[in-house]
Amino acid sequence: MTTSKEKPPFEKIIIAGAGPSGLLLAILLAQAHIPSVVLEAWPWLDTRLRATQYGVPATRIFRRAGLLPDFRAASIPKFPTICWRRVADGEKLVSIDMSVVEDEEDRMTVLQLGHIIQIMYRHCVERYGDFIDVRFNHRILEAGQDEKGKKAWVDVEIGNEDEEKRHERMEADYIVGCDGSSSAVRRSLFGREWPGQTFDCRFIVQNVFYDGFEKHGWDGGNYMIDPEHWGLVAKRGHGGLWRVTYGDPVVGLTDEEYLARRPWHFKAILPGHPDADQYRIEQTNMYNIHNRCVPSFKVGRILLAADAAHVCNPMGGYECMTACLDVGGLADCFIGYHQCKAGEEILDTYAEVRRDIFMKYVDARSIKNLDRVSKADPWTVSETDKFFGILKELNEDKQALKDFLLKVSSIEYDFRKHYDAEPQTNGVSNNVAEKESAKEEAAASLQLQV
Ligand SMILES: Cc1cc2nc3c(=O)[nH]c(=O)nc-3n(C[C@H](O)[C@H](O)[C@H](O)COP(=O)(O)OP(=O)(O)OC[C@H]3O[C@@H](n4cnc5c(N)ncnc54)[C@H](O)[C@@H]3O)c2cc1C
């Protein structure tokens, strides 16, 4: 291993994608004076309706990246409860008092992903302009590496829609694919191989203004349990903005056909059973949902992180949080290697550990979260589901609930324990917890849920 006086072992990293994972990775690297070039296919940042909530483990990374004050300023001030309701009669089955952590810096973050990305981008430009070069209209077509394994490259199509495109090969010491679920970097490595499953439903997401929420005393996050109308209804922004998401269990319709069914879903799900002229919908996006993971997060000098490597269904808010933990861990590995506190093999450790965590914990738990709202019997689930039993117990003891909401999750991992000297900090556990007790599982799950 080199000493810290020698030239750093690598100089240039190309990050594919200016989504939350790509920009967050660039910021964390820039804090350690490691430069990166972020290549984004589109001329703009993504504004589709996707994530809105990021559990405590992600908040800890946002804090570390210096982003948290701006996220909090843009967010709604209070997020008082999370509850699970039966759609059939609107009955609250189990509820958690989130006010016990409302003064805690590391409490869950609630903010639409579009705002998160814009704030991250502003930090890239205003605070780290010397280290981060974000280039829009740079679509990666393919990624690869030279035969000797000394350099990685991407073939990029450059230019916006109105101009003739040019093509360029760009080289770097490492390429990191943060280019989302349709990742070109992943496809260069594994083709169409992306083991996992696609769920039989269409996931319909919309921003909604409806005064019936307040009138009927709804607040915070409401998981809706029903085989036909499952989903999440949550307060998300200033001025009475709510996010309504539901899964339509019918497959194979056109977008227009799904939208024609929306008033029926809304009438069933929303309090007061409103007709379509009683609410206003501001934006809608539709998705297929999947749980999938690549065979490896690293091939030579090409690494994958976040949605480019794995996806899971959105019920429970695991995915972007896991994305943040991936790039937080990867940043630590690059920093340790760059500062000669670890050898290059720490990048292999990243690849193994983060994949292992997805397969062991995130995949299974996110499917349980989905099953809880879409498959469970709404009339018996509050008695039969162990998770609800734990929550009911915790509701009896405020301090226990607080500890539970803030606890270190088994999906967190501090790669700095692999540095030569052991500069362990910030109280985050170094071990992937091996315990799979029901309580641990529930705690990890709840940190992520709204
Ligand atoms: C409806 C919905 C709700 C969700 N809710 C939550 C939630 O509440 N909490 C949570 O934790 N997670 C949630 N998620 C998941 C979350 O949105 C994703 O995990 C997160 O966006 C992943 O970030 P990413 O940066 O890896 O990928 P993306 O956000 O997809 O960003 C990838 C970027 O790469 C760019 N790109 C793509 N291809 C190329 C290319 N060839 N060349 C260059 N650039 C390219 C894209 O344009 C994009 O900007 C939700 C997802 C959905 C669909």
Our mutation pick for probing the ligand 1 site, out of 112, 230, 319, counting the most ligand atoms within 8 A of Cβ, is 319
Our mutation pick for probing the ligand 1 site, out of 37, 113, 313, 369, counting the most ligand atoms within 8 A of Cβ, is 113
Contact 205, 251 (CB under 8 A): no
Nearest atom in ligand 1 to the alpha carbon of residue 307 is 26
- 100-124: pLDDT as tens digits: 999 999 999 999 999 999 999 999 9
Return the residue matching tokens 């008082």. Answer: 80
Nearest CA to ligand 1 atom 49: 19
- 38-66: pLDDT as tens digits: 999 999 999 999 999 999 999 999 999 99
Q: What is the pLDDT of residue 426?
A: 38
Q: Tell me the percentage of the chain whose pLDDT exceeds 70.
A: 92
Q: What is the pLDDT of residue 80?
A: 84
Nearest atom in ligand 1 to the alpha carbon of residue 205 is 1
Cα 40 to middle of ligand 1, angstroms: 12
Contact 25, 305 (CB under 8 A): yes
* pLDDT above 70 (res 425): no
Which string of DSSP letters, residue by residue, matches 169-187?
EEEESEEEE---TT-HHHH
Cα 174 to middle of ligand 1, angstroms: 21
Cα 212 to middle of ligand 1, angstroms: 31
* DSSP helix/strand/coil, 109: strand
Return the residue matching tokens 């983060």. Answer: 354
- 289-314: pLDDT as tens digits: 999 999 999 999 999 999 999 999 99
Candidate from 71-85, 124-138, 340-354, 404-418 with smallest mean pLDDT = 71-85
Model confidence band, residue 237 (pLDDT cutoffs 50, 70, 90):
confident
Mean pLDDT, all residues of the chain: 92
Q: What is the DSSP letter of 68?
A: H
Average pLDDT value for residue range 367-389:
96
End-to-end CA distance of the chain: 45
Our mutation pick for probing the ligand 1 site, out of 54, 284, 307, counting the most ligand atoms within 8 A of Cβ, is 307
Model confidence band, residue 5 (pLDDT cutoffs 50, 70, 90):
low
Alpha carbon distances (Å) from 265 to 51, 220, 245, 256: 21, 20, 10, 15
Cα 51 to middle of ligand 1, angstroms: 8
Alpha carbon distances (Å) from 381 to 225, 370, 389: 9, 13, 10
Contact 268, 87 (CB under 8 A): yes
Cα 307 to middle of ligand 1, angstroms: 6
Model confidence band, residue 421 (pLDDT cutoffs 50, 70, 90):
low
Nearest atom in ligand 1 to the alpha carbon of residue 139 is 42
* pLDDT above 80 (res 441): no
Using a 6 Å CB cutoff, which residues line ligand 1?
16-22, 39-42, 46, 50-54, 113, 139-140, 178-180, 182, 184, 203, 205, 287, 306-308, 314, 317, 319-321, 323
Cα 368 to middle of ligand 1, angstroms: 22
- 72-99: pLDDT as tens digits: 999 988 878 999 999 999 999 999 999 9
Contact 45, 121 (CB under 8 A): yes
Nearest atom in ligand 1 to the alpha carbon of residue 17 is 34
Residue-range domain boundaries for the chain: 13-75+111-196+291-375+409-430, 79-106+200-288+376-406
Average pLDDT value for residue range 216-227:
95
Q: What is the pLDDT of residue 72?
A: 96
CATH number for the region 79-106+200-288+376-406 comes to 3.30.9
Q: Looking at this protein, which amino acid is placed at residue 115? A: H
Nearest atom in ligand 1 to the alpha carbon of residue 138 is 43
Average pLDDT value for residue range 301-329:
96
Nearest atom in ligand 1 to the alpha carbon of residue 289 is 53
- 252-296: pLDDT as tens digits: 999 999 999 999 999 999 999 999 999 999 999 999 999 999 999
Model confidence band, residue 148 (pLDDT cutoffs 50, 70, 90):
confident
Best CATH choice for the domain 13-75+111-196+291-375+409-430 from the list 3.40.50.970, 3.40.50.2020, 3.40.50.300, 3.50.50.60: 3.50.50.60
Q: Looking at this protein, which amino acid is placed at residue 436? A: E
Nearest atom in ligand 1 to the alpha carbon of residue 52 is 8
What are φ and ψ of residue 250, in 5° steps?
A: -85, 135
Long-range contacts made by residues 87-91, C-beta under 8 angstroms, separation at least 24?
Answer: 87/224, 87/225, 87/226, 87/228, 87/229, 87/230, 87/268, 87/269, 87/378, 88/226, 88/378, 88/379, 90/216, 90/271
Nearest atom in ligand 1 to the alpha carbon of residue 184 is 41
Average pLDDT value for residue range 327-338:
98
- 256-288: b or e for each residue (b if 16 or more CB lie within 10 Å)? eebeeebeebbebbbbbeeeeeebeeeebeebe
Q: What is the pLDDT of residue 236?
A: 86
Cα 422 to middle of ligand 1, angstroms: 34
Contact 79, 243 (CB under 8 A): no
Cα 287 to middle of ligand 1, angstroms: 12
Q: What is the pLDDT of residue 443?
A: 55
Cα 181 to middle of ligand 1, angstroms: 7
Cα 7 to middle of ligand 1, angstroms: 35
Average pLDDT value for residue range 126-147:
97
Contact 172, 329 (CB under 8 A): no
